[in-house]
């Protein structure tokens, strides 16, 4: 059972990665290469930057999907690790 939740967590993580890439593209167009590199090193930066500029860049759907994927991924990984322990 823990394997199923781990696989689901990885699938949702791919969705989160896709959202990260889309926000990184917007970040690169706005700020340049150095901010892109910082965003690749620390994904929390584009997450916060995206929410700060959500209305101006019209990326509300991307940010909502990214936030949802992050929450669901955490839930699946916690359930998977708890199931593996029992």
Q: Over the stretch 21-72, which tens digit does the pLDDT of each residue have?
A: 999 999 999 999 999 999 999 999 999 999 999 999 999 999 999 999 999 9
Average pLDDT of every residue of the chain? 95
Q: State residue 69's pLDDT score.
A: 97
Task: Say yes or no to pLDDT of 86 above 90.
Answer: no
* Angle at CA of residue 74, ends 70 and 77, nearest 5°: 135
Contact 77, 5 (CB under 8 A): yes
Q: What per-residue confidence (pLDDT) applies to 66?
A: 98
The reported pLDDT for the residue numbered 57 is 95
Q: What is the pLDDT of residues 5-14, one digit of tens each?
A: 989 999 999 9
Rounded CA separation 86/84 (Å): 6
- Spell out the residues 6+ positions from residue 47 whose beta carbon is closer than 8 angstroms to its own: 20, 23, 66
């Amino acid at each position: 059972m823990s394997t199923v939740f781990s696989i689901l967590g990885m699938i949702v993580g791919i969705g989160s990665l896709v959202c990260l890439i889309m926000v990184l593209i917007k970040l690169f167009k706005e700020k340049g290469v150095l901010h892109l590199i910082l965003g690749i090193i620390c994904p929390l930066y584009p997450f916060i930057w995206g929410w700060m500029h959500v209305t101006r860049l019209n990326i509300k759907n991307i940010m909502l999907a990214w936030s949802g994927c992050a929450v669901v991924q955490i839930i699946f990984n916690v359930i998977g690790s708890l199931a593996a322990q029992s």
